[in-house]
Amino acid sequence: MFTVEKIKSFGTSGGGEFSDPTDIMNNYILREIKITDDDNNVHGIECTWKDIQGKQHSEPRRGGQWGGLNEEIVILDPDEYICKIEGTIGTGWRPLLNRIRFTTNKGNLFPKKKKYYGGATDGNNFTIDGLRLAGFYGRCGYGIDNIGFYSRVDKSEYLYFTDFVKSHEYGGDGGNPFTDNPPTDVPTHLKEIEFKYGNDLNDIRCKCRNQNGKMYVGEEHSGRWGDNYYIFLLDNDEVVTTVKGSLSKDKKGVRSLQLQTNKNRVSDIIGSNDGIDPFEIKANTVGFFGRAGCSIDKIGVLSGVPVKLEYYRMSVWIAPTTIPGPIPIKGDHTWVTGSDKSCWRGLGGNDPNYYCNPNRWTYNPNTNDYDYLPPPGCKGKLLEKGKGDMSKAALMAGREHNLVLIINGKPTNTGITMFHAGITYGLIGVCHQIANRVLLPSGITVDGAAGYNLSWWFFDVYGTYWRYANYYAFIGVLYKMVKDKYPNENLFLIIAQIILIADNVTKDPRGEFIQRCKDSGITPPIFAENKLLSQLFQLNDKYSPPTSARDSVIMHHSFHLEEVEIMLNYRNSKMLKPVSESVIRDIRDVIDQLLRPTDEEMAFSAALSHAANTNDLQSIGDLVSSNEYISNGVKALSQINSFALALQDKIEKILSPKDYEALFGYPSGERYYLINPFFFEKNYNTHIRN
């Protein structure tokens, strides 16, 4: 998922408007640009995007009605993007895009066999330096009358500065004094610098963002002369650290500037390269000051002190897990690490192939951020990262709780891990939901992990109790493990304790989650910019505690359906061709029919709970022996997977193959299990805890 923003356009008001679609640019990566040109002009531009699965989308050619002698396709690697664009808009009787060329983050220059697409040199030049090109907008007819650019928004954390001071200034005393005025009460980041130039430097305008998220667009300083533009964009964690320049031959004005950043990125010489008296200012630049009239007469730099990073990184990692079989058990195991050395394993054991050492976090003073280096041989890879309050994450996670039973009349720690972050594996959620809970302070989720597109259908985003099949599997697996560990104990007394624990865990999972959020100091406003999470927490506002076990089952089923519908609509909004509301309702009905508890299940559960509460060991024995899913935990696990297969079968009949793949993340015809029986039982084995 990306976010795009508009960058300045260049040209005239001729032709008709065009724009590449933002929903494509938000979900797909620009991979190809087809350019049609001749020796004078660029006549047409046509883009193709692909997603991470290789799905492709192309838009019609923009312009091109005059044709063109040449056609060339710019092909980008999956991790390659255009970071610099240079072009010229003509000044004739009908100004068009005369020429354009692209430079990528890998240093590749397009076109490869000539200097520019198109070629006429008369006109006004423009350069966009530092973007991540996502698409185009503008105006076109027989050719390209106006060209603008969309850039992917940088997701790195902002590097802010405060305590601004002025450097030495260079130039003459003509014109009037000017200064940028970024807010001084809130730390600020310089995001963009726009220059106008001709033979001299004619204009500067800065755009800043303060720590409260507000954008500040400065005034133009001069701007009366100069027809060429140079726009220098900065990443969120990037700052101009060196400003070099030169003066005009009469030493009364600024002839040129050149910028260098903390990432060793260097701009072109902006202005003319024949200036005299070169100068250099080393500073963390947040703006400029000086004197200006028709051009920039004198210039200096506003310098700031970096604000020490006051938050910690939270990163979610994934490692592929595959067990072969008639239907593969396939997906990504997820866990969370923190730059304060925290590591939340998501009930996945201590296998070094799955867990990265949290002590490998280091603070990088050059970027004012935390870096993480996975150990050699680690199968894990980074899925997403964000900032978050680690103390709140720790409260959400809690500790991994072990199963404690009365053995030989004494409370005994069995060493069998019960739950983490309030989630009992396979009963309330899996590692995806555990990671999502820990990640709550950062506002990110494990969206993008393989298998998550199936697990949220059953367990929602943050975990829920959806069917008695989970309940029976939980009791059955624990029963078998305790029986194997303590073969001489009264097994019915043990199963009675396990049933009471299961009843308590499933009594009110949504209430437990809401209370856990409150205790951790997590409130919905932190999700103001995340529409999905805001909707999920608005759903929680409708919650009221159940008054009975039966009410709890019915209420949580209803909440589950509403949350699934929110997720379906969210996924649907990201699809190229969203399905109709009636299709969404049909899918919701499938979930309702498939996961609605039967009267028999509810009656059996009530009888089992009553027998455990009254310590009626005879009734417990009769009920357990009569229920094949409790007496055979593996069969209960198989039943959970049968629900997953039935869901996939039923929804495949409702959706087209493309829509099915968009919702599930894998092609129509493929099937996956929801629960890994081996992993399920493994998660209740003894762990080495922090």
Closest CA to 435 of 348, 534, 493, 309: 348
Calpha distance 24→30 (Å, rounded): 9
Q: Supply φ then ψ for residue 442, to 5 degrees.
A: -90, -15
Calpha distance 192→187 (Å, rounded): 16
> pLDDT of 350-402, one tens digit each?
454 445 555 555 666 565 555 656 656 556 666 777 777 777 888 888 766 66
Closest CA to 268 of 101, 95, 72: 101
The answer, yes or no, to whether residue 5 has pLDDT greater than 70, is: yes
CATH topology of domain 4-152: Vitelline Membrane Outer Layer Protein I, subunit A (2.100.10)
- The more confident residue out of 657 and 223 is 657
Calpha distance 252→66 (Å, rounded): 47
- The more confident residue out of 195 and 186 is 195
> pLDDT of 41-96, one tens digit each?
999 999 999 876 678 899 999 987 665 678 899 999 988 999 999 999 998 777 89
What dihedral do alpha carbons 581, 584, 585, 587 form, nearest 10°? Answer: 160
From 123-127, 415-419, 538-542, 672-676, the region with the lowest mean pLDDT? 415-419
Q: 361 and 337 in contact (C-beta within 8 Å)?
A: yes
pLDDT of residue 567: 81
Which residues in the chain are classed under CATH 2.100.10.30? Answer: 4-152, 161-306
Q: 146 and 180 in contact (C-beta within 8 Å)?
A: no
The answer, yes or no, to whether residue 525 has pLDDT greater than 50, is: no
- The more confident residue out of 154 and 239 is 239
Calpha distance 348→364 (Å, rounded): 30
> pLDDT of 482-514, one tens digit each?
777 788 777 778 778 878 777 777 777 777 888
Between 3.40.50.2300, 2.100.10.30, 2.30.30.30, 3.50.50.60, what CATH number should domain 161-306 receive? Answer: 2.100.10.30
The answer, yes or no, to whether residue 446 has pLDDT greater than 70, is: yes
The answer, yes or no, to whether residue 232 has pLDDT greater than 50, is: yes
> pLDDT of 604-613, one tens digit each?
888 888 888 8
For 93-187, strand residue ranges (E) read 97-104, 109-110, 117-118, 124-129, 133-140, 144-152, 161-166, 170-171, 176-179
- The more confident residue out of 336 and 282 is 282
pTM of the entire structure? 0.57
Amino acid in the structure at residue 322 = T
Segment 457-477 mean pLDDT: 76
Q: Give me the sign of the Cα torsion angle 187, 192, 194, 195.
A: positive
